[in-house]
Chain A
């Protein structure tokens, strides 16, 4: 591990967020708050059937409704191709079917858009939807991925035999089977990682205007990556130069992955602005958000894990059915392959691994990245597997983990399935030890034995996870490797104006993560200027040269590093200019604490403000030096980063009702160096809430007809404040050597780690009843039934 120089000053401090004032006072503008001159409103008619042919659509009555500007169907946009699938599973054939702006003759999931009303008000647009007459021919429906992949199943797409999107694998099948045959014990289990509905508080939305004289579109979207939206829309849908479209994200009210993707509605809104010749806006309702925005997870996995008697894991085999919905979202095939299969070694040295993933079409909504995206599914499989092995061998699950950990001296570590990447740095035992200390493990086991004698069911569960962040080296993730159809670097521009005030433009796009604050902290620390003197601009394709956006916990590990690198070059230039001003050799000039000075005599230096002023005025610069302190960086990381940690859940299960009470939750994460501990804690808290919610409450349910029965917040159990205990969050700090900031990324650890910790705790609580596995969500009914069946 190389030594990393830690930036001084404000980096590392719990700086209060510069974003807050406008958010707290209602001044922050989100998509729905945008009003454009002459703007009309769009409402979308959606399929009530999960699988049906559209025989005809009659829009006459709707078009005549007062306030309606125009009504459109899919045929009006026949000239626009179906949306691109930008991340296809690497190294295998993908059988791609994607949505269109509006579907033309057939729908494959409930909620697919088939017609659009443009009206003077959103009320009038909604009214007119009810006047559109559609002649439907309902078709047979299949919603279960295993059934859809079985022989003789209903076929949803002509180009996808067996309803298979892709059949991808990693690892060594033969060696893994051999190791399983030689193992002392083999545990097998079928794990269901249920479908989740991400539910950012702000749904999606888009607005657009079109300028006929230049052929230029401006599209506002609630988006995590406006530059990618522009790339995908111009290159793959509209077939125009990227210079003919500007994409803008305003404040984004949560995304959790759902706002990475190019959706039919975004294309539709841009096309409608052109058609009706005035600006239009569409804001989805919560029901639309539930039926038509992407979902997450939805895996069924068959596990076989081999181990020696002492708990050493020798083989790990997984076959996973990933339900990807009726059509593919933008990066759907990449999630259960690169971000799932390649992480199945977890924090452990497992010599033989094989994973096969079948992506499957069904008559359900699209499935794509949801916070964690593949790594929660991988962590769930691995961490449940470790507990199953421990249970089979009657060993302490903590000791089985410790026995199999990748040891600190083994880094960089190649788990053999990462297609050439290596785990960067880690000290897995350290985080585990601290978590055990906080939770008081030995005391808990003593209390547990005591309370068991009283007939109570208390349990403790662990998740000692590792995840992959900071996506990604472009050559690794790109088409030739992992199938992502573009690159994954990040750009940043830093300029220091005449007055010494800095403006930083970044290509990452926050949805609550506080990028303006953390970026300003880095600038303030490096340039030695007050944080108030830093302005961060983002969310606009006219801002940063390009940006791949915010997801995969990449904003710090990739985006912030681009800023940091530009700051180093700005400081170099400041040193050169200061040397000229001080009549000294540049080698003798240092820059520290906002001042450039000759080594040994800091009292005679020039401040960054003086240097910036001199650079901007350019009256007297060193020969050959350009005016202005300005630098743009394109940073392509050499590796991903691999945060890790230990999460512990303590639960009690009610004997009479099956109700699980989360008594304590302890997290010790290691996300490398921390720019702002307050913000990282907040990310961890929110992630834990979402991960715990998967374990205990949340689950999307489709009935046999393909109707989403959990299509509102009445039916889908997003946690409320009283569902959760106080969260006990700590950290260890093992910097990465991948980047000079030492940061790994912190946006997803909570969601990735927490789900198996809670399930392991509940299964531990119920172990005396002979229960070895339960599928999520562990609702009172499900747990109660399992307890009754077990005779408890």
Chain B
């Protein structure tokens, strides 16, 4: 099946099977390997991208469902070499260690702060329940989100 998807502002075309997952199209079809796969069951959130402005787990979206859509991946977040405020905050607060959950965590955080620009710590922890991290104990992730929220005000 043919799909046309705008990825990080660039129009892309691809032939996919009906069963092809969006995450596989992004990674294998478009070569954008920043988006990660870390579970089989939509628990971990490592594959989070923005689909028409909403954070989605791209392992749970078929590529054909994204036909005509606008997708932003982690590679599309930094503008002209400058880190996005959320990326900057994760760096400042040491909100990442091995980095594998990080693209998804960052994409989820960007969407969270668009929905709720000034979340409480409890809200941050609750809102990020779909993104697992095994390295940080979330302590510095929460601090990073808080810093990014402050930067956005």
Interface size of A as a range: 35 or more
Q: With both chains docked as a complex, state the minimum distance between the C-beta of A198 and any C-beta of chain B, in angstroms.
A: 8
Of the A-B pairs whose beta carbons lie under 8 Å apart in the complex, a sample of 8, sorted by A's number, is: A24-B83, A33-B33, A201-B98, A201-B134, A253-B99, A512-B97, A682-B97, A724-B139
Not counting A201-B46, A512-B96, A721-B131, a sample of 8 additional A-B residue pairs whose C-beta atoms are within 8 angstroms of each other reads A26-B73, A26-B74, A123-B24, A254-B98, A254-B100, A254-B134, A685-B136, A713-B132
- Chain A residues positioned under 8 Å from B142 (CB to CB): 721, 726
- In the complex, whether A285 has a CB less than 8 A from a CB of chain B is yes
Q: Which of B32, B96, B140 meets A26, CB within 8 Å?
A: B32
A604 to B7, CA, bound (A): 58
The answer on a CB contact under 8 Å between A26 and B103 is: yes
A493 to B39, CA, bound (A): 38
The answer on a CB contact under 8 Å between B124 and A721 is: yes
The answer on a CB contact under 8 Å between A201 and B35 is: no
- Chain B residues positioned under 8 Å from A23 (CB to CB): 96, 99, 102
A-B contact count (CB 8 A): 180
- Chain A residues positioned under 8 Å from B117 (CB to CB): none
Binds A, one of B50-58, B60-68, B86-94: B86-94
- In the complex, whether A16 has a CB less than 8 A from a CB of chain B is yes
The answer on a CB contact under 8 Å between A24 and B91 is: yes
Q: Which 7 A-B pairs have CB atoms at the shortest separation, nearest pair first? A: A26-B34, A253-B100, A512-B98, A23-B99, A689-B137, A512-B97, A713-B43
- Chain A residues positioned under 8 Å from B73 (CB to CB): 26
A727 to B143, CA, bound (A): 12
The answer on a CB contact under 8 Å between A713 and B125 is: no
Q: Which of A16, A30, A690, A750 meets B94, CB within 8 Å?
A: A16
- In the complex, whether B71 has a CB less than 8 A from a CB of chain A is no
- In the complex, whether B10 has a CB less than 8 A from a CB of chain A is no
- In the complex, whether A626 has a CB less than 8 A from a CB of chain B is no
The answer on a CB contact under 8 Å between A25 and B77 is: yes
- Chain B residues positioned under 8 Å from A21 (CB to CB): 83, 91
Q: With both chains docked as a complex, state the minimum distance between the C-beta of A540 and any C-beta of chain B, in angstroms.
A: 18
A689 to B97, CA, bound (A): 14
In the complex, per-residue mask of A503-524: 1 if CB is within 8 Å of any chain B CB, else 0: 0000000011110000000000
Residue of A nearest to B130 (CB): A720
Q: With both chains docked as a complex, state the minimum distance between the C-beta of A236 and any C-beta of chain B, in angstroms.
A: 29
The answer on a CB contact under 8 Å between A512 and B135 is: yes
A632 to B24, CA, bound (A): 44
The answer on a CB contact under 8 Å between B38 and A203 is: yes
Q: With both chains docked as a complex, state the minimum distance between the C-beta of A50 and any C-beta of chain B, in angstroms.
A: 21
Q: Which of B20, B38, B140 meets A201, CB within 8 Å?
A: B38
A684 to B39, CA, bound (A): 25
The answer on a CB contact under 8 Å between A512 and B99 is: yes
Within A687-734, the residues touching B (CB, 8 Å) are: 687-690, 712-714, 718-722, 724, 726-727
Residue of A nearest to B139 (CB): A685
The answer on a CB contact under 8 Å between A722 and B126 is: yes
The answer on a CB contact under 8 Å between B94 and A25 is: no
- In the complex, whether B129 has a CB less than 8 A from a CB of chain A is yes
Q: Which of A123, A685, A750 meets B140, CB within 8 Å?
A: A685
The answer on a CB contact under 8 Å between A16 and B91 is: yes
A355 to B43, CA, bound (A): 41
The answer on a CB contact under 8 Å between B35 and A686 is: no
- In the complex, whether B37 has a CB less than 8 A from a CB of chain A is yes
A20 to B94, CA, bound (A): 9
The answer on a CB contact under 8 Å between A26 and B91 is: no
Q: With both chains docked as a complex, state the minimum distance between the C-beta of A649 and any C-beta of chain B, in angstroms.
A: 14
A722 to B126, CA, bound (A): 6
A686 to B41, CA, bound (A): 23
Q: With both chains docked as a complex, state the minimum distance between the C-beta of B13 and any C-beta of chain A, in angstroms.
A: 19
In the complex, per-residue mask of A197-211: 1 if CB is within 8 Å of any chain B CB, else 0: 001111100000000
Q: With both chains docked as a complex, state the minimum distance between the C-beta of A262 and any C-beta of chain B, in angstroms.
A: 21
A678 to B94, CA, bound (A): 7
- In the complex, whether A636 has a CB less than 8 A from a CB of chain B is no
Within B107-151, the residues touching A (CB, 8 Å) are: 121-122, 124-126, 128-129, 131-142
- In the complex, whether B11 has a CB less than 8 A from a CB of chain A is no
Q: With both chains docked as a complex, state the minimum distance between the C-beta of A37 and any C-beta of chain B, in angstroms.
A: 14
- Chain B residues positioned under 8 Å from A724 (CB to CB): 125, 137-139
- In the complex, whether A29 has a CB less than 8 A from a CB of chain B is yes
- In the complex, whether A679 has a CB less than 8 A from a CB of chain B is yes
The answer on a CB contact under 8 Å between B98 and A253 is: yes
Known: A712-B40, A713-B44, A721-B141. A28 touches B99 (CB 8 A): yes
Known: A686-B134, A713-B39, A713-B43. A25 touches B100 (CB 8 A): no
